[in-house]
Amino acid sequence: AIPLVVAISTAVSAQNGLLIRNRTAFEESRKISALLFDKTGTLTKGDFGVTRIQSVDDNYSQDEVLRLASALEQSSEHPIAVGIIKKAQEEKVTIPNPLNFHAITGKGVEATVEDKPVKVVSPGFLRDNNIPIPKDAYSDAAETVVFVLIEEKLAGYIALADEIRSESQEAIQVFKKNDIKVLMATGDNEKTARAVSEKLGLDGYYAEVLPHEKVEIVEELQRKGEFVAMTGDGVNDAPALAKANVGIAVGSGTDVAAETADIILVNSNPKDIANLILFGKATYNKMI
Ligand code: ADP
Ligand code: MG
């Protein structure tokens, strides 16, 4: 016979856009005391549009910043890359082909374009390399900003805007009613992270987070006695998903993230996690 828990969890997942990989995850979901969300594509839609392009080096125009950045981004699947390519197409940019393209895990992308090394990176990358952030970069709190380095020097930056998912608000109400702390860890800048956190009324956030720091955040919460669930979508999130008490891979995710996770959140919808927790609690309250 199929154990009741398995039968129930299969039914829950089928209806709710969840794939439960680890049988105990459904039972464990009612113990969650802290939820650590990633931002892009989970709490927000992950649908970026370019709002500003700025040159900070007289050798490179605004158009040149976009042209070189898009050479790299055409090889990336990140939502930021999709937004930049959309802009390049609108502007009818002739996008050059990059050589030696690769991702700098959780920090950006790099390649050689027309014999020059080019990078498009996060604020965390600049911090790590002691490159000062231009003072007007964060003039709008709602914007995500990525930085374009040419020959290791800052040439300009591109600002993009994303929107909060309407389901995030509803999900967070459910978590709050159930005394679950809701936190966010993102590679994005402090100002944008704070704006999203305040809009959603989160209990806290971590900004400009580098990949290895996600594991440390999970451990710190666990030391404080929290039973931690965490969402993540990238290869770089896999170690933290493994460390969390309940690891939730978002979307189709990358294979590595999905393989490490206990649960796969098929539609990237935070509301599905809320339903899982409510259903878990209701089921076990009835059984006891
Ligand atoms: P998040 O923590 O928001 O899910 P990721 O871990 O996917 O973000 O990436 C962390 C940061 O690295 C992003 O906020 C962005 O600044 C930078 N980044 C990652 N991939 C790219 C890319 N293809 N182009 C530009 N920046 C990128
Ligand atoms: Mg991510």
Structure confidence by residue, pLDDT tens digits, 72-90? 999 998 999 999 999 999 9
Class of domain 4-45+163-287: alpha beta
Give mean pLDDT, residues 46-67: 96
Closest atom of ligand 1 relative to the 84 alpha carbon: 24
Please tell me the distance between residue 286's alpha carbon and the centre of ligand 2 in angstroms: 37
- Counting from 1 in the atom list of ligand 1, the atom nearest the Cα of 73 is 23
DSSP tag of 40: I
C-alpha atoms less than 13 angstroms from C-alpha of 83 in its C-beta half-sphere: 24
Q: Which stretch of 41-50, 76-85, 174-183, 228-237 has the lowest confidence by average pLDDT?
A: 228-237
Query: Cα(277)–Cα(271) distance, rounded to whole angstroms?
Result: 10
- Domains in the chain: boundaries: 4-45+163-287, 49-161
Residue 173's pLDDT band, with cuts at 50, 70 and 90, is very high
* Residue with more model confidence, 84 or 23: 84
Q: What is the pLDDT of residue 253?
A: 58
On whether the CB atoms of residues 26 and 276 are closer than 8 A, the answer is yes
**Ion ligand 2: residues, CB < 5 A:** 38, 233-234
For the chain, the average pLDDT equals 90
ipTM > 0.90? Answer: yes
Q: How far is the CA of 255 from the centre of ligand 2 (A)?
A: 14
For ligand 1, atom 18, the nearest C-alpha belongs to 108
For a mutational test of ligand 1's pocket, the pick from 47, 125, 146, i.e. the residue with the most ligand atoms closer than 8 A to its C-beta, is: 146
Task: Write down the pLDDT at residue 6.
Answer: 61
HSE of 165, CA atoms in CB hemisphere, 13 A: 21
User: Residue 20: its pLDDT value, please?
Assistant: 84
Q: What pLDDT band is residue 117 in, cutting at 50, 70 and 90? A: very high
Q: Model confidence at 278, in pLDDT bands (50, 70, 90)?
A: confident
Per CATH, the number for 49-161 is 3.40.1110.10
136 is catalytic: no
Distance of CA 55 from the midpoint of ligand 1 (Å): 20
Confidence of residue 288 (pLDDT cuts 50, 70, 90): low
Cβ proximity of 141 and 191 under 8 Å = yes
Q: What percent of the chain has pLDDT over 90?
A: 70
Q: How far is the CA of 106 from the centre of ligand 1 (A)?
A: 6
**Is pLDDT of 160 > 90?**
yes
- Give CA angle at 133 (128, 138), nearest 5°: 125
- As a dihedral over the C-alpha atoms of residue 47, residue 144, residue 160, residue 51, rounded to 10 degrees, the angle is 140
41 CA closest ligand 1 atom index: 4
